[in-house]
Structure 1
Amino acid sequence: MSLLFFKRLIANPIRVGYLVPSSGFLTRKTAKRIDFSKPRVVIELGPGEGCHTRQIVRRMNADSKLILIELDEHFAAHLKKQFAGDKRVIVVQADALHLVETLENLGITHPDYIYSGIPFTIMERNLRERLLSNIAVSMGPETVFITYQVSTLISDHELFDLSRSEQCILNVPPIKVLELRKAVLV
């Protein structure tokens, strides 16, 4: 655990959402879910100190883009410094509740992947619903939403269809990796 992570956890434990950063087992497992056989646009919501981000960057091809949307100003500054030399990575300090507007400002219609470990189950219900709605609106028919969660609560959400689920027991706490697609509402 880095000093930055510990300081941010103490300052705002609910916003950080986890007591320890994700394990290497989890970061590798989730990053492998992104297909970089061709250029991709990946959005990471709430990257924190960047442990998942580093795994994604290692796998990205030269023409892909990774947009990091981080609410916490300290984490955002850290990410900007960490990835300053990589033109494929763009750090935006913003609230994920404004995802649609943020993507519009960047000229992105529908990303290939949205990637996040934001702990939806500990959020207040109204906030969770607004955030999940913004994610769904930002998704195109081919967009994959990859999330890692302690609970499978959102896998049954009306806005999404679960396409794949896998347990990562070598993480503290053990966690589910979910792949979701935008539900086709009839």
Structure 2
Amino acid sequence: MSTFSFLLEGFRNLRTTGTFTRSSPALCRAAIDRIDFPAAKVIVELGAGDGVITKHILERLPADGKVIAFEVSPDLCDDMRALNDPRLIVAQDSAENIRHYLDQIGADKADHIVSAIPFAALPEDLGKSIVRAAKDTLRPGGCYNQVHYSLKTKSYYEDAFGEVETKRVWANLPPAWVLYCMR
């Protein structure tokens, strides 16, 4: 998907994309910080968009690892499928259904979860339900990293995980936050 096409997708579906621009390389690096890649077998990505963060994950993921990337936009899912990586499972589905996809690949838990879901644009009950599902399917010691453009929904992660560390990423348009939670 071209930058212009991504911009149009953002305008058409801001509620699900959460932004008009792709994540910068600096934001992508911050989003996957704290992931123990050598030991990671299953990484779940929520709100994967066109796969810009997914590509960074795949670059560092071991050959025997899997990424389950959730996205609700059919066009953005097509972009991710075009990455043509056998380690990538594109789940065109709600992130509430993490358990179902882990079961499909025979995984008890995800090692790490990265999310760029725009929770501020979703109903509060749905957002909290997704965060709880993420926590419930994350292995002890695993990290949950959330990309946001505001801290409006920080309480979702505090309620689920307790302590939340935040990092501001200025080298992104617009500047963004990454919230780090450990299970």
Normalised by the length of structure 2, the TM-score is: 0.87
Check if 1:91 corresponds to 2:97. no
Question: Runs in 1 of length 4+ with deviation above 6 angstroms?
Answer: none
Q: Aligned-residue CA RMSD in angstroms? A: 1.9
Please say if 1:43 is aligned against 2:61.
no
Quote the residue 1:151 is aligned against: 150
Residues 146 and 180 in structure 1, CA contact (< 8 A), matched pair in contact too:
yes
Q: Structure 1 residue 117: deviation in Å? A: 1.1
Q: Which residue of 1 aligns with 2:177?
A: 176
Question: How far apart are residue 93 of structure 1 and its match?
Answer: 1.4
1:111-170 alpha-carbon deviations (Å, 9 max, x no partner): 110101112123221221221122122122222101111233335531113353221111
The runs of 5 or more residues in structure 1 that have no matched partner are: none
Q: How far apart are residue 58 of structure 1 and its match?
A: 1.3
Unaligned runs of 5+ in 2: none
Deviation string, structure 1 residues 98-123 (Cα, Å, up to 9, x no partner): 22222222322111101011121232
Structure 2 matches for 1:81-120, cutoff 5 A? 81-82=82-83, 84=84, 86-120=85-119
Aligned length: 180
| Contact 1:39 1:63 survives alignment (8 Å) | no
Code of the aligned partner of 1:154: K
The percentage of aligned residue pairs carrying the same residue is 27
1:163–1:15: structure 2 CA closer, same or farther, 3 Å change rule? closer
Query: Partners of 1:169 and 1:59 in 2: how far apart?
Result: 24
Letter in 2 for 1:71: V
Alpha-carbon distance, 1:72 to partner: 1.2
**Per-residue deviation, 1:39:** 4.0
Tell me the TM-score normalised to structure 1 length. 0.86
User: Which residue identity does 1:31 align to in structure 2?
Assistant: I
Which residue type is aligned with residue 51 of structure 2? G
Taking the aligned partners of 1:100 and 1:39, their CA distance within structure 2 comes to 18
Cα separation, 1, equivalents of 2:100 and 2:149? 29
Q: Deviations over 1:67-97 (max 9, x none)?
A: 1111111111111112x1x222221211112
The separation in 1 between residues aligned to 2:82 and 2:53, in whole angstroms, is 16
Distance in 2, matches of 1:159 and 1:28, equals: 24
Distance 2:158 2:33 in 1: 24
User: 1:44 is paired with a residue of what secondary structure?
Assistant: strand
